[in-house]
Amino acid sequence: MEQTAKEANPKTHRAAVLQSPKDTVRITRVPTPQPTELKQGECLVKLAFSGVCHSDLHAAMVRAFVAALNVVMTQCHLQNDWPVKAHFPLIGGHEGVGHVVALGLGADEYVSVGDVVGLKYLADSCLNCAFCRAGAEAVCARASYHGFTRPGTFQEFCVTAARHATKVPVERGMDMAEASPLLCAGLTVWKALKVAGLTVGQTVAISGSGGGLGHLAVQYARAAGLRVIGIDTGVEKEELSRRLGVAEFVDFRKTTDLVEAVKAATVDGLGPDATIVAASGAKAYEQAMQYIRPTGVLVPVGLAPNSVIKLDVFWSVFQTKRVLPSYVGNRQDAVECLHIAADNNIKALFTVRPLSELPDIYDKMLKGEIAGRVVVDCSK
Ligand code: 8ID
Ligand code: ZN
C-alpha cells in the first residue's frame, strides 16, 4: 500500500447516506477507509465531483422520496422502484471524479497516486468469465456497482477497483467537473450509439434529448455524422436540444400523434434508422417501435420501472425491426467516450451544487426540471 506523504486521510468524511428504503437521504459522516484496509487491487479515491444520474433516484427507492415530497403517487411516473434492489445503507452516485490517494497491493499496475480517475457505475467485474472476455463486463455475475451494490460517489472518499477506474485525460484540457457526467451519461449513450450500429448520414431519434443522457447522446450522434431528431418536452429542453444540433425537435407533450410527428421529421418521411430511448418515463417506449423505419433499431436505455415494449411479431419480422437494449459500457467504452468528447468538444451542460443539496436535486429531477446534468461538489 502506498499513500501521499502530504496529507493523511481523515477518520471520517461527509457522505449522502440513505439508511433504509423507508428513509430519506441524509448528509452525515461515515468512517473513511484507511489505506491499510484496502484489498488487493483496490485504490482509494478522494472525490472532487460526482454527477447525479436518474438511476440514483431510481435506486434510492423512490417511494420514500415521493412520500417525503408529498407527490401524489398515482400521478407520478415513478410509482415503483426497480425490481433489483440496491444494498442498504446506500451511498449513491456513479459519476465520480477525483484523485487516487492510496493503493492496495497490485493496484499500481493500473493507477498511480495522484492520478485523476473517473469512477463509473460498473466498479468491478471478474474479467475472466465468458461475458467479461467478450466485453460484456456489466453482466458479469461477480460485478459490483457503485451507488447500487457498493458505496458510490456521493461522498468525499471512495474505494474502487483500480482495474475498472478510468483515467481522465486532464492533459488534454478536460477538467474534473466536466468529466464527471461523461462517466455514466456519456459512456452509456456512446455505447448505445455503437449498439445502434449507424453510419454517417443516417438518422437517429433521441428520446429524452434534454435530459442528462439525452443531451450527451445528441452530441455524440452529431460527432458521428448522424442526423438527429430530439424528443422531449418544454422550452428549455427544446432550446438545449436545438443548440446541440438536432435537425428537428418533437415535443412529446404538445404533439397529438407522436408517430407521425417523428416520421415527418425524417427527410423521406419513413422514420429514423434508430431511436435511443434515454427517457426515464415508461411512456417513451409506447410508440417507439412504430415510428422507427423498416429495418430500424430501438435501443432501450432508460430504465423506468414497469416499462414494456410492445413488439408485434408479424410486423417486426415483416419489416425487420429490431430491439437491442444497451446497459452502461465496458472499460474500453469508457476510455473511448472521454477521448471522443475531448476530440469533438462534447461537453455536458451542468450546474455545480454542494453535495449537501442532494435531496433538493432529487426533488427537481423527480419533477423533470433539470435540463442537462447536476454535478455535486463532494467537498461541500
Ligand atoms: O445503462 C443504462 N441503460 C442506463 C445508464 C444510465 C441511466 C440507464 N439509465 C437510465 C436512468 O435510470 C433513467 O431511467 O436512463 C434514464 C435517463 O437518465 P437521465 O438522463 O439521468 O435522466 P434525466 O436527466 O431525468 O432525463 C430524462 C429525460 O427524459 C425526458 C425528460 O423530460 C428528461 O429530459 N422524458 C420523459 I420523463 N418522458 C419522456 C417521453 N415520453 C421524455 N422524453 C421523451 N418522451
Ligand atoms: Zn447513471
Q: Which residues of 290-325 are buried (b: 16+ CB within 10 A; e: fewer)?
A: bbbbeebbbbbbbbbeebeeeeeeeebeeeebbeee
Q: Identify whether the C-beta of residue 288 lies closer than 8 Å to the C-beta of residue 208.
A: no
Q: What pLDDT is recorded for position 9?
A: 82
The pTM of this model reads: 0.94
| 3-class state of residue 264 by DSSP | helix
C-alpha cell at 355: 453535495
Q: Which of 121, 204, 220, 280 should be mutated for ligand 1, with most atoms under 8 A from CB?
A: 280
251 C-alpha to ligand 2 centroid (Å): 24
Per-residue pLDDT tens digits for 45-62: 999 999 999 999 988 754
What one-character DSSP code corresponds to residue 67?
H
| Own/partner pairs, 231-236, CB within 8 angstroms, 24+ separation | 231/205, 231/206, 231/207, 231/258, 231/262, 231/279, 231/284, 232/207, 232/208, 232/279, 233/368, 234/210, 234/368, 236/210, 236/371
Q: What pLDDT is recorded for position 66?
A: 42
Per-residue pLDDT tens digits for 250-272: 999 999 999 999 999 999 999 99
Amino acid type, 245: G
Q: Is the CB of 191 under 6 A from ligand 1?
A: no
101 C-alpha to ligand 1 centroid (Å): 34
Closest atom, ligand 1, to C-alpha of 325: 3
Atom 33 (ligand 1): residue with closest C-alpha?
211
Q: What pLDDT is recorded for position 83?
A: 74
5/3 Cα distance (integer angstroms):
6
Label the pairing between strands 12-18 and 26-31. antiparallel
Q: For 347, list phi and psi in degrees, rounded to 5.
A: -135, 135
Residue whose grid cell is 452525515: 28
Amino acid type, 192: A
Q: Which of 94, 188, 206, 213 should be mutated for ligand 1, with most atoms under 8 A from CB?
A: 213
Partners of 42 in beta bridges: 161
326 C-alpha to ligand 1 centroid (Å): 13
Nearest to 55 by CA among 183, 235, 178, 167: 183
Q: Which residues of the chain have pLDDT under 70?
A: 1-8, 61-81
Closest atom, ligand 1, to C-alpha of 53: 21
Q: What pLDDT is recorded for position 61?
A: 55
Q: What is the rounded end-to-end Cα distance, in angstroms, of the chain?
A: 28
Q: Identify whether the C-beta of residue 232 lies closer than 8 Å to the C-beta of residue 254.
A: no
| Own/partner pairs, 361-369, CB within 8 angstroms, 24+ separation | 361/52, 362/25, 362/52, 362/56, 362/57, 362/60, 362/65, 363/65, 363/69, 365/52, 365/54, 365/57, 366/57, 366/62, 366/65, 366/66, 366/69, 366/71, 366/76, 366/78, 368/233, 368/234
**Average per-residue pLDDT for the chain:** 92
38/58 Cα distance (integer angstroms):
30
Per-residue pLDDT tens digits for 332-350: 999 999 999 999 999 999 9
279/212 Cα distance (integer angstroms):
9
> In the chain, what percentage of residues exceed pLDDT 90?
86
Q: Is the CB of 208 under 6 A from ligand 1?
A: yes
245/268 Cα distance (integer angstroms):
20
**Strands of 322-323's sheet, edge to edge?**
248-251, 227-232, 203-207, 274-277, 297-300, 322-323
Q: Identify whether the C-beta of residue 259 lies closer than 8 Å to the C-beta of residue 315.
A: no
Q: Identify whether the C-beta of residue 22 lies closer than 8 Å to the C-beta of residue 15.
A: no
Q: Is the CB of 212 under 6 A from ligand 1?
A: yes
| 3-class state of residue 303 by DSSP | coil
